[in-house]
Amino acid sequence: MGDGHIKHAATAGPHARGVTVLELMVVIAIIAIATAMAVPDLSAWLVNARIREATGHMEQNMQWARSYALKTGQSVYVQTGYYNETGGGTACWWTASLSATGTPLLNNAPNMENPNVTTPGVTQPVLFQTRYPDVSCRYVELYNNGLPAIPPPALGATYDLKFSPDGTIWGSSNGAPYSLTYGAMMFSARTNSAGYVQWLAAYYGAGELRSCATQTGPAAAPPYSCVIS
């Protein structure tokens, strides 16, 4: 103003321009493709995480049973079983009690309830397939003295583990304990297990409990590397 000239606001140069609709559509398409490619990986990651979580859950529950036996001087029986799921795959259950019959259940004992047992007036807790969707589990090996002499329980059958006050783990049939070198439950993807992790909840007669990945391929191809050293 002082020099007698009016100053105008700076304007964009001749080459400056906004984003065209076509360019915006290209960017959106690239983002959509990248997202679509990432979704299967995310889905697989979630299933693998649930497999590891379910395996760790069972191992921790068995650790609890062993600890209870050591502290109280009473044997603890962990009943396990597995059954067909609607839509494919098998789901597990396990409970802890002081009786080979599985009843009564220990107060405050961690468990994955048996869907075949209902208590009148008591709301049924969350079942395996609800807590761990897309995860399947089953018995894979029961060994005695290094030999697969004990056939895994059939689908729908109940299998008992006896946790003794001295820390050892035994198999149990109708309340009668028998020597067990080790056994394992496998947790894998509910359908099309290829491409997903497979984890074992392994228990050893000497008292060791472990959850670990197995490096074998199909679930029908024992022995499993994290069990047999």
In a domain, 9, yes or no: no
Place of tokens 């491409």: 195
In a domain, 224, yes or no: no
Specify which residues 137 forms β-bridges with. 187
In a domain, 48, yes or no: yes
In a domain, 198, yes or no: yes
pTM: 0.72
In a domain, 1, yes or no: no
What does the DSSP 8-state code read for residue 116? Answer: T
In a domain, 222, yes or no: no
In a domain, 171, yes or no: yes
Specify whether the CB–CB gap between 155 and 99 falls below 8 A.
Answer: no
Per-residue pLDDT of the chain (229 residues; tens, 9 = 90+): 555 555 555 555 555 566 687 777 777 777 766 665 555 577 888 889 999 999 998 999 999 999 999 999 999 999 888 888 777 778 888 888 888 877 777 766 777 766 666 555 554 555 787 888 888 888 876 766 655 556 667 777 778 899 999 999 998 877 778 888 878 888 988 877 777 888 889 888 889 898 888 755 444 444 555 644 3
In a domain, 140, yes or no: yes
Report which secondary-structure segment, H or E, holds 28.
helix 21-72
Q: Which domain holds residue 135?
A: 21-213
CATH of the domain at 134: 3.55.40.10
Q: How far apart are CA 50 and CA 188, in angstroms?
A: 9
Query: Domains in the chain: how many in total?
Result: 1
